[in-house]
Chain A
């Protein structure tokens, strides 16, 4: 993939450079002096644990933060970006991890937002959509997304595609990708990789933030590692290894990242037969006590919907669910929690955490009735539970009263897990449990999942990271277009087999059914 040898100053002139930039937020130094050079036609990967300063550096590079000290040089000349729009006009683009998408306008309008093209004096939506369609097809996303779809109907992967298309508008000199693959399925990841290779050929300078080692080795020419707001070092990818990079990030060895213990699966705890919902068709699945079952598949294949159907969050149209040898129908998640099923959804901030409340509040949310007498929460029992999980799960915080919004991604995810472990679940469903989580916290989450299975809890893990699934699971099911394959045993599950099952029919994920407004909660439209 890397056709040109990087590192020669003549072939790859420096396009954009940060010189010793630092950023302080009050007394906290988010970044204390980092330098980085982005060269034409070169991909530099930025790695580091959450809180290492990657996002801060990226935000300085793209005009979102003004550096407290240090300088930015664009084409050899010092620049001061007033805001991201200014940086954008100067040719410095960013592909945000969680893009802002206008909900009520089309994909085409979202792509050309800020620079809507006109035919003569009249704005033409159909022309715009045709152009967007051509451009999407040109970059290989033609089958993934329809330019007429509304922003609010897009999946996470499709939103990411829109964000990528935005960055390509005009003539970008520098593009910064912030974990672009964290919400993409394998199929879209392939397209993205081809796109990055294409941009490199067009001599765009690329910065690429990622937590995934394999893709860093596949894409990047150089890797720069940050830790605790300082630069640890820079390596040519050809001259380094995963082990070395992980050591640079956390000061530990990769072999220590996760040691799997053997599980002894017991009797089946959950059996699905021909379960069908709006997005899931005829699913048959068995999970045993003490077993970790993985579900692989593309984004949009119906994996999250399947988990939601199991816990009673979305209605099951037909088929049967047997739990602990009894046929059951859950009308709401409250029903499934009552019988010992926990479910940690994919979108941590939007669907799991009460960000404005404390760690303690968030952890005991599922067990409030149990730790209350006559409605009064027993403060001592709450404190015991919260402190217990904080130390057991190594949640890094000065106090259980810390607001959850102030925690890093990894620690937030541990709070979500703690909430579900608090009900002592017999079955735990985890949707992308390590998404956007740093290497150190990932390892701890793996250990927690493994430990649960060893104690007899059944765990279903949905993940888009194949190495993670293959490392954790006893068996793996693959989902494609709402249908589930038969399961692969640990020994038989190779990346190739899983991928070929996930890509059956080789059709791209269709648009999701519009989310129906249920009779629940406050209505704010």
Chain B
């Protein structure tokens, strides 16, 4: 009996979009602009220094971004949840020390397992402080950032531990390759693929978006949101421990601080640049990976062009500000007060 109503409403349905437009929509404007930025950057740097296009240089870039890339990918989940974990850098340092010290006593596999166990426990501590202690995630992980670094320094006496540089397992991780692609990059690809599948195709991934997008609605829809928050921090701890193992492999010893300091900033930068919204509910692994590549290319290119390395930090900061500004203006938010 309401057929008339349907007819009357039909003209409000959006007109068919052109193919180009639909393609853009599928890829996402955010990702597309990152791709364009990478292409432009590659062109500019490549014209000035042809070495840039060498296969070796590609490997260098890949290996340079592998560790921060891992943390950026897992940080994406945390940000989608509406939280932030800035303890990942110091946790990676702690796990690096643990892996090297246990390796010295019990061999590489036990060393890696011990590091992962420490990562999981530290992630669990983060999650529990946030959920059960009712502490804002930035403050909670700021506190554990200091604490985990302190523990790393305590057990290592503040210096590099163990020597893994002659162990075939660690050598394979640091310098080995499969099908011409370095192991480090394989590890990044593997973890990224897992996170991508998790977020995109599983019910748990959907629920992460729901919890970050609207916590109250998620609880009323029967989602145990505490479990998700603690779970995500545990996974983050686990991935941070893998990053720690990679640091050990690359430097040949357990490093409490050097090699891990500042990683949390790179991770958050890449995730934000990749389109993850800090208020939660939005973000994707593809966007984050593109941002990781963009930042890697930028840093490598500036090195090749012999730019003072201090300028590289300025450039990274500049890119981040520019990207976020464009993103915010595109969202049409009005320029009043603090941004939401």
Closest A residue to B10 by beta carbon equals A396
Q: Decide: B83 and A522 in contact? CB cutoff 8 A.
A: yes
B215-235: CB near A (< 8 Å → 1, else 0) gives 111111111111001000000
Q: Provided the pairs A252-B5, A440-B5, A523-B136 are in contact, do residues A368 and B219 lie with their beta carbons within 8 angstroms?
A: no
B149 interfacial contact with A, CB 8 Å:
no
In the assembled complex, the Cα of A317 lies from the Cα of B216 at a distance in Å of 22
> B310 interface residue, CB < 8 Å from A?
no
User: Could you write out 19 A-B pairs with CB less than 8 Å apart?
Assistant: A228-B12, A252-B4, A313-B220, A338-B222, A343-B220, A345-B220, A354-B281, A356-B277, A357-B213, A365-B206, A365-B218, A366-B222, A377-B202, A377-B203, A394-B5, A398-B14, A419-B221, A444-B2, A522-B81
CB <8 Å contact, B130 and A375: no
By Cβ-Cβ distance, the 5 closest A-B pairs, closest first, are: A354-B213, A334-B222, A368-B203, A337-B222, A521-B215
Q: A333-B221, A372-B203, A398-B13 are contacts. A519–B134 as well, Cβ < 8 Å?
A: yes
B residues within 8 Å of A by Cβ? Answer: 1-2, 4-6, 8-9, 12-14, 81-83, 130-132, 134-137, 201-204, 206-207, 209-211, 213-226, 229, 277, 281-282
Q: How far is the CA of A419 from the CA of B210 in the complex (A)?
A: 13
Residues B219 and A396 in contact, CB atoms below 8 Å apart: no
Interface string of A362-379 (1 = CB under 8 A from B): 000110110110011100
Contact B215 A522 (CB under 8 A): yes
CB distance from A426 to the nearest CB of B (A): 15
Interface residue count on the A side (C-beta < 8 Å): 47
A5 at the interface (CB under 8 A from B): no
Q: Contact: B12 with A521, CB < 8 Å?
A: no
Per the bound structure, the CA–CA distance linking A51 and B13 in Å amounts to 13
Closest chain B residue to A402, Cβ basis: B14
CB distance from B27 to the nearest CB of A (A): 14
CA A522 to CA B83, docked complex, whole Å: 7
Contact status B282-A522, CB under 8 Å:
no
Alpha-carbon separation in the docked complex, A365 to B8 (Å): 31
Let me know if B136 and A524 touch, CB within 8 A: yes
Q: In the complex the two chains form, what is the Cα distance from A147 to B132 in whole Å?
A: 34
Check if A332 sits within 8 Å of B8, measured CB to CB.
no
Write the nearest CB–CB distance from B225 to chain A, whole angstroms: 5
Which of B4, B202, B221, B224 has a CB less than 8 Å from the CB of A372? B202
- A458 CB–B CB distance under 8 Å: no
Asked if residues A350 and B215 are in contact (CB atoms below 8 Å), the reply is no
Find out whether the CB atom of B225 lies under 8 angstroms from the CB atom of A520.
yes
Nearest B residue (CB) for A64: B334
In the bound complex, residues from chain B placing their C-beta under 8 Å from that of A332 are 219, 222, 224
Shortest C-beta distance, A307 to chain B (Å), equals: 11
Q: A345-B216, A377-B203 are in contact. List 15 more A-B contacts (CB 8 A).
A: A252-B5, A256-B1, A332-B224, A334-B224, A356-B209, A356-B213, A356-B277, A357-B209, A396-B13, A398-B14, A520-B219, A521-B229, A522-B81, A522-B130, A524-B136
Q: How far is the CB of A395 from chain B (nearest CB, A)?
A: 11
As a 0/1 sequence over residues 58 to 99 of chain A, the CB contacts with chain B under 8 angstroms (1 = contact) are: 000000000000000000000000000000000000000000
Q: Which of B204, B222, B229 contacts A375 (CB 8 A)?
A: B204
Residue of A nearest to B15 (CB): A27
**A353 with B217: CB separation less than 8 A:** yes
How far is A523 from B226 in the complex, measured between Cα atoms in Å? 11
The listed residue (B5, B206, B220) touching A352 by CB distance below 8 A is: B220
Question: Is residue A3 contacting chain B, with contact meaning CB distance below 8 A?
Answer: no
The answer to whether A394 touches B4, judged by C-beta atoms less than 8 angstroms apart, is no
